[in-house]
């Protein structure tokens, strides 16, 4: 969701060449950016088909966390269904950045 309360959707887009797969989190963020949004304040992650197991199965991957750190507002909330609400710093402390934000 952006600061104007517009919600952008995403879904996993998978490929036989696993490295070309894109997670739902990044698809939603890229969808928002491509639509002109620049102030993303909240991201909700749901795992409809998550296998039973530890909560780590539901957490965003490292690539998604890096994209979140670069494109979401610093105060953004990341809500992971069945796990909790996190800040960017909780998900990726000391994130890599190319420049000052």
Residue 14 among the catalytic residues: no
Axis crossing angle, helix 24-34 with helix 62-71, rounded to the nearest 10 = 20
Three-state DSSP class for 42? strand
Distance, in Å, from the CA atom of 57 to the CA atom of 95, rounded to the nearest integer, reads 21
Q: Which of these is catalytic: 25, 70, 77, 81?
A: 25
Active site residues: 25
């Amino acid at each position: 969701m952006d600061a104007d309360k517009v919600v952008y959707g995403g879904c996993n887009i998978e490929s036989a060449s696993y490295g070309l797969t894109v997670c739902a989190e990044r698809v939603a963020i890229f969808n928002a950016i491509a639509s002109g949004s620049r102030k993303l304040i909240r991201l909700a992650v749901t795992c409809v088909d998550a296998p039973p197991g530890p909560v780590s199965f539901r957490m965003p991957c490292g690539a998604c966390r890096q994209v979140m750190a670069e494109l979401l507002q610093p105060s953004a909330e990341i809500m992971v269904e069945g796990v909790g609400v996190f800040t960017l710093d909780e998900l990726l402390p000391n994130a890599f950045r190319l420049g000052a934000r």
